[in-house]
Amino acid sequence: MVLASIFESLSIQYYIVLSTILFVIGVIGVLIRKNAIILLMCIELMLNAVNLMLVAFSSYFGKADGQLFVFFIMVVAAAEATVGLSILVLIYRNTRSIDLGIFNKLKG
Amino acid sequence: MNVETIAYILGGLTIGSALMVILNTHPIRSILYLILTFFMISANYVLMNAQFLAIVNIIVYAGAIMVLFLFVLMMLNLSKDNEPRSTIMMKAAAVIAGGSLLTVFVASLKKAIVSKSIAINLNNNQGMVEVLGKELFSTYILPFEISSVLFIAAIVGAVVLAKREKNIL
């Protein structure tokens, strides 16, 4: 079923502000949490905020290109989550902690 | 209830559940709220006529990536007690930095679009799988194939990293 365009009654600015707020929540989450898993989740949240804005513009201009970019962002997000989590498991195995302060040891 | 009110309510719920992700101290609750956020974002996609992407978002994010996160978190056996904490100074600095970023973004993007939406008079079916598939397999066929190479690299990387080695570090 195809609905009528939402932008008949709503301006694009609403979605710009919404996705910007989501992105900033992700940024603040990266800065205030010390848990490495939460950090990866906040990165996913930021990627989703970008996806939301891409879909909004795609729908606004009536072109499919923005939605295809979202597909590629999802591919990158899935690859990033896989590798990031396996690095995290490896760090936990060696140090028994996922505190981000542990990464100080990388300085040598 | 008109569609505008629904959009505002959905936006409020999205922001609320996203805030709960970063404010909750329990990691598992945090993940569950993130799944809720993804469902809310999918609802926003449906509202914007991107139905196929809404379904893909639920399948890929809530179904695959977040289950992976939940699985790893449960395997690591963390609890609220050994959750690492940051200082109040750090939190204040983070909120100030994020607030400034939000102000700059909103101020610069607020008046970005001057042209009216051209999708209103169109037959608005670009979110359907037929249109997206045709576009993906004609214009974007090269990036599509390259992304499969990226996936292979990610699979190999995950297997190599997760393999247990005795003399590491």
Contact residues for A87 (Cβ-Cβ < 8 A; gap 6+): B161
pLDDT at A4: 66
What pLDDT shows up at residue A29? 92
In a domain, A95, yes or no: yes
Q: Which residues of A touch B101 (CB under 8 A)?
A: 24, 27
What pLDDT score does B167 carry? 59
pLDDT at residue B118, as a whole number: 61
- Looking at the predicted structure, is the pLDDT value of residue B121 above 60? no
B154 touches chain A (CB under 8 A): yes
Is there a domain that residue A78 lies in?
A: yes
Question: Does residue A22 lie in a domain region?
Answer: yes
Q: Is residue A89 part of a domain?
A: yes
| Share of chain A residues as helix, strand and coil, in percent rounded to the nearest 5 | 80, 0, 15
Asked if residue A6 belongs to a domain, the reply is no
Q: How far does B32 lie from chain A, in Å, by closest CA?
A: 11
Give pLDDT, residue A2: 56
Q: List, as one string, the DSSP characters of B121-153.
A: SS---TTSHHHHHHHHTTTTHHHHHHHHHHHHH
DSSP A8: G
Paired tokens of B82: 């050994």
pTM: 0.89
Contact across the interface for A65 and B135, Cβ inside 8 Å = yes
User: What number is the average pLDDT over the span B81-94?
Assistant: 80
Range of the domain at A73: 11-107
Q: Within an 8 Å CB–CB cutoff, is residue A105 touching chain B?
A: no
A79–chain B Cβ distance below 8 A for any pair? yes
Cα angle vertex B164, ends B161, B167, to 5°? 100
DSSP for chain B reads --HHHHHHHHHHHHHHHHHHHHH-SSHHHHHHHHHHHHHHHHHHHHHTT-HHHHHHHIIIIIIIIHHHHHHHHHHHT--STT-----HHHHHHHHHHHHHHHHHHHHHHTT---SPPSSSSS---TTSHHHHHHHHTTTTHHHHHHHHHHHHHHHHHHHHHHS--TT--
Q: What is the CATH number of the domain that holds A78?
A: 1.10.287.3510
Residue in chain B lying closest to A50 (CA): B41
Any residues with CB less than 8 A from the CB of B94 and at least 6 apart, and which? A28, A31, A32
Q: Which of B10-14, B81-85, B86-90 has the highest mean pLDDT?
A: B10-14
Q: Do A60 and B117 touch (CB under 8 A)?
A: yes
Report yes or no on A5 lying in a domain.
no
Structural domain contains residue A64: yes
Chain A residues touching B72 at Cβ < 8 A: 37, 85, 88-89
The amino acid sitting at A63 is K
DSSP code at position A11: -
How close is the nearest chain A Cα to the Cα of B17, in Å? 10
pLDDT band with cut points at 50, 70 and 90 for residue B18: very high
What are the structure tokens assigned to B104, written together?
């700059």
Q: Which of A23-37, B52-66, B74-88 has the lowest mean pLDDT?
A: B74-88
- C-alpha–C-alpha distance, residues A12 and A34, integer Å: 35
What's the burial of B107, exposed, middle or buried (CB within 10 Å: 0-12/13-18/19+)? exposed
A48: enclosing H helix or E strand: helix A36-61
Looking at this predicted complex, what is its ipTM? 0.90
Question: Taking a C-beta distance cutoff of 8 angstroms, is the pair B11, B20 a contact?
Answer: no
Contact between chains at B21 and A45 (C-beta distance less than 8 A) = yes
pLDDT value of position A42 = 94
Distance from C-alpha of A53 to C-alpha of B2, rounded to nearest angstrom? 22
The token duo for A38 is: 């939460």
Number of domains in chain A: 1
Whether residue A4 is contained in a domain is answered as no
Size of the A and B interface in Cβ pairs below 8 Å: 250
| 3-class secondary structure, A41 | helix
CA separation for the pair A18, B37 (Å, rounded)? 13
